[in-house]
């Protein structure tokens, strides 16, 4: 990817009873650095407002040589859940219920989409949940309007009616919030100067459950009693190959005669026409041989592997927000039709397990996971947490800091190096460490 920018943001939860005309609350801005509505184009790099950086610190944050690690300056006052890196404020609406919200937006090719998503995605989620409680389908939502609550799981009224759970209504609301966020970026990208796109990873806590929504290559895991529970998967040209190839096969005009939907292990030379070559199509997970034809000389839709895998030789993530203007280099071929703005949402029911203060949900951008695997992260979590008192509100921030420092490494003569002397992550790194001990959730935890 080209220029990358990262905005890490936690957004407040807004009361769902607020009227349709409600303004985004002032606390809702977190992407920082003068990116409010109507403001000038955002800076190339920005940090969340909750970090309360001074102008000098903001400049330091933009210094790619020193690579300072940023964490909140007053964790005790600002972090009600003692979340590592940052936490979340909570406001009550008139008749609403609460949700808590954390999100990471990992931008590329410009910061505009990431900053805007950091300022607005929670409002779209809020809006979708509000529509849910106000919806008037009498079969599914009979009690919804009066009490302003998500309804009880509906009992089918007709034969052959499918029962739809609360959970899947919330999942649908979050999915559509991502779609509306993407549409807003599309509408306003010209007037608001919103270049680029971003991966989005959001964790929403609502009525005793965590909903983890991921569109891109960030990752979330829960560490519970030392056990690792994956809460997301990455969406890349490799993991989404079959979806992308299927679309390319059905809509070949999207390939602009430059690409083939088949995957080959390497570029094919014209002189190899007629010979045999390994390939994979949209139906295959394995590889097989085919005779090389003229069409196979085109560039493969998916090419490269691991961190170097690219779709249309351009982009290494296949879900996210923005990228509406992204084209294949020096061509008129649009990338966006292949990208999905829809997240995969996984649910974790906090009430099903008695959590201890060392159980956490970790959200991290790919800069973390590229050099530190799940087991190593779990090791750092356990190591750091045991060195602090269970009720020390800084302990989760210290975990986040340790994770970022270890993944960045230390600047030596031969570049940024990890403890094992391997290269540290050259990418931006942002991490949340969120405690799962429900006793900490206090009065806001309505089970």
**Residue 363 forms beta bridges with which residues?**
220, 432
Among 169, 231, 398, 436, binds a second copy (CB under 8 A): 169
Instruction: Choose the stretch contacting a second copy; rule: CB under 8 A; options: 84-92, 131-139, 189-197, 387-395.
Output: 131-139
Q: Is 151 helix (H, G, I), strand (E, B) or coil?
A: coil
**What is the nearest approach in angstroms of a second copy to the Cβ of residue 241?**
12
Q: What share of the chain is helix, strand, coil (3-state, %, to 5)?
A: 30, 20, 50
Residue 183 makes contact with a second copy by CB under 8 A: no
Minimum CB–partner distance for residue 307 and a second copy (Å): 13
Residue from 94, 187, 267, 447 binding a second copy (CB under 8 A): 267
Q: Does 318 bind a second copy (CB under 8 A)?
A: no
Judged by CB under 8 A, which stretch of 1-9, 153-161, 323-331, 428-436 contacts a second copy? Answer: 153-161
In angstroms, give the least distance from the CB of 176 to a second copy: 5
Torsion over CA: 218, 203, 239, 373 (sign): positive
**Residue selected from 277, 313, 356, 394 as contacting a second copy according to rule CB under 8 A:** 277
382 binds a second copy (CB under 8 A): no
CA 389 to chain centre: 31
Site for a second copy in 327-346 (CB under 8 A): 340, 342, 344-345
**Closer residue to a second copy in complex, CB, 112/322:** 322
Q: Does 123 bind a second copy (CB under 8 A)?
A: no
CA distance 236 to 240: 6
Beta strand residue intervals within 189-293, DSSP E: 197-206, 209-215, 219-224, 227-230, 259-260, 276-279, 288-291
Cβ-based neighbours of 271, under 8 Å, separated by 6 or more: none
162 binds a second copy (CB under 8 A): yes
Strand partners, 290: 277
Residue 164 lies near a second copy (rule: CB under 8 A): yes
CA distance 59 to 46: 10
Q: Rule CB under 8 A: say whether 313 interacts with a second copy.
A: no
Residues 45 and 196 sit within 8 Å (Cβ to Cβ): no
For a second copy, give the closer residue by CB, 163 or 411: 163
Minimum Å gap between C-beta 158 and a second copy is 5
Give dist(CA 96, CA 130) in Å, integer: 9
Conformational region of residue 288, where left means phi above 0, alpha means psi within -120 to 50, and beta covers everything else: beta
Q: Is 128 an interacting residue with respect to a second copy (CB under 8 A)? A: yes
Of positions 44, 68, 155, 278, contacts a second copy by CB under 8 A? 278
- 250 makes contact with a second copy (CB under 8 A): yes
- Per rule CB under 8 A, is residue 258 in the interface with a second copy? no
Q: Is 208 in the site for a second copy (CB under 8 A)?
A: no
Would you call 105 helix, strand, or coil by DSSP? strand
Residues 6+ apart with CB under 8 A from 334: 254, 326, 327
The reply on whether position 121 binds a second copy by CB under 8 A is: no
The alpha helices in 229-345, defined as continuous H runs, are: 241-250
CA 427/CA 368 separation, integer angstroms = 8
Identity of the residue, 57 or 183, whose beta carbon is nearer to a second copy in the bound complex:
183
- In the bound complex, what is the minimum distance in angstroms from residue 351's beta carbon to a second copy? 20
Tell me if 172 contacts a second copy by CB under 8 A: yes
Taking CB under 8 A as the binding criterion, the range among 83-91, 286-294, 355-363, 393-401 that sits at the site for a second copy is 286-294
Q: Which residue from 188, 138, 181 is spatially nearest to 343, judged by alpha carbons?
A: 181
| 239 binds a second copy per the rule CB under 8 A | no
Q: Closest approach of Cβ 324 to a second copy, in Å?
A: 17
Work out how close the CB of 311 gets to a second copy at its nearest, in angstroms, rounded to a whole number. Answer: 15
Best CA proximity match to 204, nearest among 119, 122, 116: 122
Q: With CB under 8 A as the contact rule, which of the stretches 117-125, 135-143, 359-367, 399-407 interacts with a second copy?
A: 135-143
Cα-based angle 130, 136, 138 (whole degrees, multiple of 5) = 135
Burial of 396 (0-12, 13-18, 19+ CB in 10 A): buried
Q: CA 157 to CA 291: how far, in whole Å? A: 57
Tell me: does residue 247 bind a second copy (CB under 8 A): yes
Residue 18 binding a second copy, by CB under 8 A: no
Determine if residue 205 is left, alpha or beta; phi over 0 gives left, psi from -120 to 50 gives alpha, anything else beta.
Answer: beta
**What is the residue-wise DSSP string for 401-424?**
HHHHHHHH-EEETTEEE-TTSSBP
Mark the segment that binds a second copy (CB under 8 A) among 79-87, 239-247, 370-378, 419-427.
239-247
Smallest distance, Å, CB 148 to a second copy? 16
Q: Measured from the CB of residue 202, what is the shortest distance to a second copy in angstroms?
A: 14
Binding site for a second copy (CB under 8 A): 128, 131-132, 135-137, 139-140, 156, 158, 160-164, 167-176, 179, 243, 246-247, 250-251, 265-267, 275-278, 280, 283-289, 303-305, 308, 340, 342, 344-345
């Amino acid at each position: 990817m080209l220029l990358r920018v990262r905005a890490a943001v936690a957004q407040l939860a807004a009361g769902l009873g607020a009227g349709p005309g409600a303004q985004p609350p002032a606390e809702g801005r977190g992407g920082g650095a003068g990116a409010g509505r109507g403001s000038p184009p955002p800076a190339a790099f920005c940090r969340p407002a909750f970090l309360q950086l001074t102008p000098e610190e903001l400049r330091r944050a933009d210094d790619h040589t020193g690579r300072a690690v940023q964490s909140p300056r007053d964790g005790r006052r600002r972090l009600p859940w003692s979340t590592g890196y940052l936490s979340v404020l909570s406001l009550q609406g008139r008749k609403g219920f609460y949700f808590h919200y954390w999100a990471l937006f990992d931008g590329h090719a410009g910061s505009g989409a990431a900053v805007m998503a950091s300022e607005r995605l929670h409002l779209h989620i809020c809006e979708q949940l509000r529509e849910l409680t106000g919806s008037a389908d009498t079969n599914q939502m009979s009690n919804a309007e009066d009490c302003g609550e998500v309804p009880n799981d509906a009992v089918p009224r007709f034969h052959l009616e499918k029962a739809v759970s609360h959970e899947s209504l919330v999942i649908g609301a979050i999915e559509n919030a991502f779609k509306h966020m993407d549409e807003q970026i599309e509408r306003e990208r010209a007037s608001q100067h919103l270049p680029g796109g971003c991966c989005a990873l959001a964790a929403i806590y609502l009525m005793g459950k965590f909903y983890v929504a991921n569109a891109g290559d960030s990752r979330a895991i829960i560490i519970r009693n030392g056990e690792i529970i994956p809460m997301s998967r990455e969406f890349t040209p490799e993991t989404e190959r079959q979806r992308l190839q299927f679309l390319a096969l059905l809509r070949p005009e999207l390939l602009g005669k430059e690409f083939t939907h088949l995957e080959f292990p390497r570029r094919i030379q014209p002189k190899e026409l007629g010979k045999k070559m390994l390939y994979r199509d949209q139906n295959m997970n394995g590889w097989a041989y085919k005779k090389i034809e003229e069409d196979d000389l085109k560039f493969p839709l998916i090419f490269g592997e691991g961190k170097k895998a690219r779709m249309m030789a351009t982009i290494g993530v296949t879900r996210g927000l923005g990228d509406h203007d992204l084209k294949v280099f020096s061509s008129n071929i649009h990338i966006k039709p292949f990208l999905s703005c829809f997240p995969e949402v996984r649910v974790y029911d906090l009430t099903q397990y008695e959590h201890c203060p060392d159980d956490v949900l970790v959200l991290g951008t790919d800069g973390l996971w590229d050099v530190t695997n799940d087991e190593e992260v779990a090791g750092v979590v356990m190591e750091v947490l045991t060195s602090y008192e269970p009720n020390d509100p800084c302990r989760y921030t210290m975990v986040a800091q340790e994770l970022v420092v270890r993944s960045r490494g230390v600047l030596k003569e031969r570049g940024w190096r990890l403890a094992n002397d391997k290269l540290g992550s050259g990418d931006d790194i942002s991490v949340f460490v969120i405690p799962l001990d429900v006793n900490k959730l206090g009065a806001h935890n309505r089970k």
